[in-house]
Structure 1
Amino acid sequence: MPSATRRGSPPSPPASGPAAPTLKKVAEAAGVHLSTVSRALNPETRHLVAEAATARVLAEAARLGYRPDAAAAALRTGRSRLIGALVPGIANPVFAPILAGAEAVLAGRGYALLVADPGDDPARAVTLADEMASRRVDGLLLATAAGHDDPVVSRCLARGTPVVLINRTEAEARAPAVVSDDQEGLRLAIEHLVALGHRRIGHIAGPPNLSTGALRRRGFEAAMAAHGLDASAIAPATAYSRPAGAAAARQLRAGHPGLTALACANDLLALGTYDVLAEAGLRVPDDVSVTGHNDMPMMDMVAPPLTTVRIGHAEMGREAAHLLLRALDDRTTPPTRGTAVLLRPTLVIRASSAPPR
């Protein structure tokens, strides 16, 4: 029977659990000095500790359930070890491998990645960037850049926050970027279609305010001109989405009947083009060949499998993370204005392209 508490007496304090493990306890368990534990648990200083000692420290820390105090470390070092990332569509399959590639590199240096999705709304992007700044992120990976002077880039430059652009760039390169060679991608698609015998080729372009839309259109026009072909059959989409692709395809077919091939600036635009051609009773590629751009996951599983330009998404994320880490390592000599890593795309030929009838 439980003992009664006397009226007016304070209740007995609840029994406390075991004290949280400390660095000192880990050091005692591993048989090493406290400073050795501190270095071994920090990915940036781990190389200063012998491998055997590091292995012991990590094993004992895991056994004891030791967790570093991130807030205390941030106060001590002036770094939160948080990196922000803004992407224009978290559900878009393009960005999952980009983020995974970046996260793998950042985690190896003890950084965590915070991801937010403002869509293609510049005001929302600024708000989210400000919220990340309030959480003292050490740097920003930005996949939402648009126009000549992206407001988030301006914010980062004003604050002195390292920022690296991914997949898109500004018209005037003010920050380092990792992008695919968008003009080369469209050249590859047009070379392929011309080699098949197509001469009447149209382009479903991306939004003109985005670097990917503008550069891929430029690549289409240059490749068509190189073969002496008319490059006027262009319809820009309002967004990189399947419905926007369908709307642009209807516009293009209305103004340019008789096209035998359509080179699309994005795989989702290509899927919208599939829809419009099916509505018109046309078959891909028997009646019209279609190419995409990006090689999103499952493009080999649509009907027919899509010929498309493959971008190294995971490599893009890794390279962007490396650029950002270099900026964080040496803030006194930030990356050269407009430093760009240009990744070379490849063409993946599938069943959506064939010689014209």
Structure 2
Amino acid sequence: MQGPTLRDVASAAGVHTATASRALNPNARALVHPDTARRVLRAAESLGYRPNPIVRSLKTTKSGTIGLVIPDLTNPLFPPIVRGIEDVLAPAGYSTLIVDTNDRPDREQAQIASLRSRRADGLIIATALLDHPLLRELGEQGVATVLVNRRTDGLDVGSVSANDAAGIGLAVEHLVDLGHRRIIHLAGPQTTSTGVDRLRAFRTAVREHGLDDSCRIVLCDRWTEDAGARALRTALDSGAPFTAVVAGSDLIALGCYEVFAEREITCPTDINVVGFNGIPFLDKLCPPLTTINIPHHDIGREAARMLLESIAEPNRTPRSVLLPPSLVVRGSTAPPRP
């Protein structure tokens, strides 16, 4: 069965076929009014149209590629974000080159240099730290860049992420409504915007519920299960009582499950735990993990659209978009024992 054609896209967008062709060509898009280009791109996306890269390569020497920089490809947070990005970029005529930095600045620098040597037309970066000299350098060089699931200070660069403050607020409110008064937060790395924002939101939430003196914070140095397990052991070994954990991420929460098993702690009878991100298969755990779900696919789509806007309009003012999270209640939370 033949897929949608360029003529179908033009008809759906209400433009001439030649206009649609220019709008879908990254190297000719500047010839089309930005509003018209966006209309054509959305029509192509909704129809599932895919341009022919072989035909296009005969007409231009530009790469038609976008670099996607991921800190850890084994983290199940990222596949749905990548899918959302590709769902928007492919109809617009772009291919995605994905690189994994393994959370190492030297590897990130080398991978981005490789992407630029391949003449990537823009970058979507999920590795950004609060202080990130490489991002500053890219900005000074005029590289179209969008941050995904991250933000950074002092730079005019677009970003798309979940509303971390709202998510942590939902987690704390859920536990308080169940009757918990002694809650700890296993906070993510404070070198990242997500770690800082979620920690700040936890402090705000417990203060609003009048729990300042009964809640504690333990820092994790990475967004991993091992870091979560180490942090929970630290909290338990301190002897300070608590009945619930708000984890900085689902992977940190999974580290808690490891400690529950080794110390014969029953969840949720002895300790509750709430994760953050809504990665797949959390409902298969024992008990299934209560978590804050973020719209990964929508985050990817919005980041890709933002990057296309930046490429088409280099002088456009960067935007920061926060998408709303939701609470998913499962078996890892319950009222505390009397």
Tell whether the structures are fold-level matches, with TM greater than 0.5: yes
Q: Does 1:315 align with 2:315?
A: no
SS in 2 for 1:291: strand
Displacement after TM superposition at 1:197 (Å)? 0.1
Task: Quote the Cα distance in structure 2 between the aligned partners of 1:190 and 1:256.
Answer: 22
Deviation at 1:44, TM superposition (A): 1.4
Q: 1:172 to 1:252 in 2, by over 3 A?
A: farther
Query: What's the secondary structure of 2:96's corresponding residue?
Result: strand
Q: Which residue of 2 aligns with 1:340?
A: 320
Which residue does 2:336 correspond to in 1?
356
Aligned partner of residue 130 in structure 2, secondary structure:
coil
1:29 equivalent in structure 2: none
Write out aligned runs for 1:121-160 (5 A): 121-148=104-131, 150-160=132-142
Q: Distance in 2 between matches of 1:66 and 1:126?
A: 29
SS of equivalent to 1:300: helix
Opposite residue 299 of structure 2, the aligned amino acid is M
Please report how far the alpha carbon of residue 173 of structure 1 lies from its aligned counterpart in structure 2 after TM superposition. Answer: 4.2
- Residues 174 and 73 of structure 1: CA distance in aligned 2, closer, same or farther (over 3 Å): same
Please name the residue that 2:3 is paired with. Answer: none
Q: Which letter does structure 2 place at the counterpart of 1:176?
A: G
- The verdict on how the C-alpha distance between 1:66 and 1:354 changes in structure 2, with shifts beyond 3 A counting, is closer
CA distance in 1, matches of 2:161, 2:155: 12
Gaps of 5+ in 1: 1-35, 49-61
Partner of 2:261, secondary structure, is: helix
2:157 maps to what in 1?
175
Residue 267 (str. 1) matches residue 250 (str. 2): yes
Tell me if structure 2 keeps the 8 A contact 1:220–1:231. no
1:160-309 equivalence runs, <5 A: 160-229=142-211, 230=213, 232-309=215-292
The yes-or-no answer on 1:119 pairing with 2:102 is yes
Asked if 2 retains the 8 angstrom alpha-carbon contact of 1:221 and 1:231, the reply is no
Q: Which has the larger radius of gyration?
A: 1
TM-score, normalising length from structure 1? 0.79
Q: Which residue of 2 aligns with 1:97?
A: 80
SS for the counterpart of 1:263 is: strand
Distance 1:202 1:239, change over 3 A: same
* Aligned AA (1:101): G
Partner in structure 2 of residue 67 of structure 1: 54
Q: Tell me the CA shift for residue 278 of structure 1.
A: 2.0
User: Which stretch shifts more, 190-199 or 229-238?
Assistant: 229-238
- Cα distance in 1, alignment partners of residues 18 and 209 from structure 2: 63
Q: Secondary structure at the match of 2:55?
A: coil
> Residues of 2 paired with 1:268 and 1:116: CA distance?
21
When the two chains are superposed, the root-mean-square deviation of aligned CA atoms in Å is 2.3
Structure 2 unaligned regions, length at least 5: 1-15, 30-35, 38-50
